[in-house]
């Protein structure tokens, strides 16, 4: 038996472990539809600054000014401005869920003081911070999550119809025919700009984000028009920009004579 002695002993070095940070790719889409003017507003905060996203988070929000009231565009813009200003002042060491919810109530107070109830808007606001999602919403705009091969509505629609469904469930019954027959069903039960905002739909605990998740914030000109299966196909496109382009194509194909303003924000989360 022969033994060979190495002249030089090689040692295995421990592999270098690099911390992975979740990255965000964003895009947006907006169209006037068949309306006379655009009453939707939206904003991203810190979308182009990875250092700011790491330290303070990314905010995405959209607001759909109510066409049946006055100053829809001005109200939606004011709502966006109020919440983004609060976002910059939030204490990241404290509960962001509670702070975001409080910001929505604060925005409502500002809108009522400014417009005295003559205008209203919906709102969906999201904070992406340290790989968690925080959101709050009012009205009937949409927040979706595409995870894997599924699409999930994350926020609750605040309309008279949805409130009636919930009230029936609280009574231990569900008569959908009775609720659906109510012509007042689509009317908003909550919106920003009223004298007293009764409820904000918000998370009590943040949602852990996974790599590959795609989020969609949109007005009812998108979520109330396209089926979930179509939206899922749109969000499966390789990039947020392509998702937005496909959403617009799908809306245009329908050629709806009463197409509302439409706004969509797409956020893809990737390592």
Q: What is the pLDDT of residue 151?
A: 98
- In-domain check, residue 14: no
- In-domain check, residue 9: no
Q: How many structural domains are present in the chain?
A: 1
Range of the domain at 215: 23-157+188-270
Distances (CA, A) of 123 to 8, 47, 65, 169: 68, 19, 9, 26
CA quadruple 178, 180, 183, 187: dihedral sign: positive
Q: What is the pLDDT of residue 10?
A: 45
Q: CB within 8 A of 79, min separation 6: which ones? A: 41, 63, 107, 111, 121, 123, 192, 193
Q: CB within 8 A of 192, min separation 6: which ones? A: 63, 75, 79, 104, 107, 108, 111, 120, 121, 122, 123, 138, 139
- In-domain check, residue 12: no
Strand order of the sheet with strand 262-270? 23-31, 262-270, 214-218, 142-147, 150-153
- In-domain check, residue 105: yes
- In-domain check, residue 11: no
> How many Cα atoms within 13 Å fall on the side-chain side of residue 49?
11
Q: What is the pLDDT of residue 175?
A: 79
- In-domain check, residue 167: no
Domain at 131, CATH number: 3.60.40.10
Q: What is the pLDDT of residue 29?
A: 98
Cβ atoms 259, 251 nearer than 8 A:
yes
**Consecutive 10-residue averages of pLDDT for the chain (271 residues):** 43 58 96 96 97 97 89 96 98 98 98 95 98 98 98 94 81 81 84 96 96 98 98 98 98 97 98 93
Strands 58-64 and 123-129: antiparallel
């Amino acid at each position: 038996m022969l033994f060979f002695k190495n002249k030089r002993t090689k040692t295995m070095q421990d592999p270098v472990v690099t911390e992975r940070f979740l990255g965000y790719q964003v895009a947006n889409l907006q169209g006037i539809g068949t309306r006379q003017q655009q009453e939707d507003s939206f904003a991203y905060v810190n979308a182009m600054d990875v250092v700011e996203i790491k330290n303070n988070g990314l905010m995405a929000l959209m607001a759909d000014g109510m066409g049946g009231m006055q100053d829809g565009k001005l109200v939606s813009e004011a709502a966006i401005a109020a919440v983004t200003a609060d976002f910059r002042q939030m204490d990241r060491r404290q509960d962001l869920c509670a702070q975001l919810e409080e910001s929505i109530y604060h925005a409502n107070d500002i809108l009522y003081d400014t417009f005295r109830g003559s205008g209203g808007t919906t709102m969906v606001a999201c904070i992406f911070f340290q790989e968690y999602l925080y959101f709050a919403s009012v009205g009937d705009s949409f927040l979706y999550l595409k995870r894997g091969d599924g699409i999930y509505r994350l926020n609750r629609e605040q309309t008279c119809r949805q409130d009636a469904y919930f009230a029936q469930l609280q009574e231990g019954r569900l008569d959908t025919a009775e609720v659906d027959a109510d012509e007042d069903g689509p009317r908003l039960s909550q919106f920003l700009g009223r004298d007293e905002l009764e409820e904000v739909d918000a998370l009590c605990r943040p949602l852990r984000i996974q790599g590959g998740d795609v989020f969609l914030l949109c007005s009812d000109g998108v979520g109330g028009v396209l089926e979930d299966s179509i939206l899922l196909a749109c969000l499966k496109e390789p990039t947020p920009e392509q998702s937005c382009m496909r959403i617009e194509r799908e809306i245009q194909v329908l050629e709806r004579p009463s197409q509302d303003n439409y706004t969509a924000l797409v956020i893809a989360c990737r390592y």
